[in-house]
Amino acid sequence: MAQFKAAHPLPNAIELPKVNAAAQPEDRAGWPLVRATILTLSGFLIAIIGNILVPQVAEGLKDDTYALGRLVVDRNGFYRIVLGTVMLIYLLGAVRAVFDPVRREKYQNQAKFRFAVGIALLAYDIAGTKLRITTQPFFPGPAQILETFLIDGPIVLQNLGYSLRLFSTGFLAGVVLGIGTGILIGWFPKVYYWVQPVLKVSGVIPAVAWMPFALTLLPTPFWAAVFLIAICSWFPVASQAAFGIQTTPKTLFEASRTLGARTPFLLFRVAVPNAMPHIFNGITTACAGSFTCLVMAEMMGQPGGLGYYINVVKVWAAYYKVFATILVMAILFSLILDVLNVVRSYVLRWQRGQFR
């Protein structure tokens, strides 16, 4: 056999040509992130260039100047500064995404949307500011909307602080009461018997409907609004907490009792942790409803707040200030949801990897 192999050697295996990784940048690990970053920044860069190159055709806008630190800018200059700041934020986000695969995938998936936002801002800037073909004064351009912060920046900031104080007080009170009520309803049958019907009836009533009673019974409009926000938060949190307690698998209780667990341990170390995903679902739902209730309460008798500011400026048909306040509300609500998601991710860290 050895002589046969020597006399008749087997043909060499066919070797495939090697691909040079450096020759194909698409295969590099970092290239999709670079491409997403370029796509993201280019949309806002186009919006800046368009704002510079497209002349102001329509008349009726005064090019007032404002002191921004050591800079003196008009509305268009401030608009370009804001766009440049957005570009810097996304650039820093790309740097952070380099070290986080999850963040990198999310950043890359949203690149097309961010590019579309930049193009949409360019179109809106031309239509609303440069040409003013949109219905005025109801749909002002983005530069005029941002001019609000140059004119009424301290006032907007003061009302924002009032809204934050009002929302945090009412929302936290409603969440604490909701969790406590839900635990009592879900664990004690007698409490369920007496409280559950009240929860069902009061939960379907809009919180704003309690406004006349709150203003009559409570000493100040602030505490009346706190009461409304707490009621709006209480129902979804209590319902979800009770559902989470009641749906705790019996096998968990049986296993804990076998190991000698008593009632406090079963409640706070078995039932409540099992209900935490449901509780956070209720908190997220309550956050959206409470924020809506906040704005409506501020429009109906508060001495300050973002809703109060909208009421004041709309009387003077300053709708660009209304849009600016709506923008602040959107940013504020997004930040609140981000904080809730961070807290939720930390509390429910044992769920990581279980869901897509």
Note the pLDDT tens digit of each residue in 40-64: 999 999 999 999 999 888 776 777 7
Model confidence at 226, pLDDT cuts 50, 70, 90, reads very high
Q: 149 and 211 in contact (C-beta within 8 Å)? A: no
**Percent over 90 (pLDDT), the chain:** 51
Mean predicted confidence (pLDDT) in 129-135: 87
The DSSP symbol for 188 reads -
Note the pLDDT tens digit of each residue in 92-107: 999 999 888 888 899 9
Place of tokens 């995404």: 97
Distance from CA of residue 125 to its chain's centroid? 25
H or E segment and range at residue 276: helix 272-299
Sign of the CA dihedral 130, 134, 140, 142?
negative
Distance CA 159, CA 310 (A): 10
CATH code reported for the domain at 154-351: 1.10.3720.10
Q: What are the percentages of helix, strand and coil residues in the chain, rounded to 5? A: 75, 0, 20
From its phi and psi, is residue 69 left (phi > 0), alpha (psi between -120 and 50) or beta?
left
By mean pLDDT, which of 66-70, 177-181, 226-230 is the weakest? 66-70
Q: 94 and 37 in contact (C-beta within 8 Å)? A: yes
C-beta atoms surrounding 49 within 10 Å: 12
Kindly list the domain boundaries of the chain, sorted by start residue. Answer: 28-151, 154-351
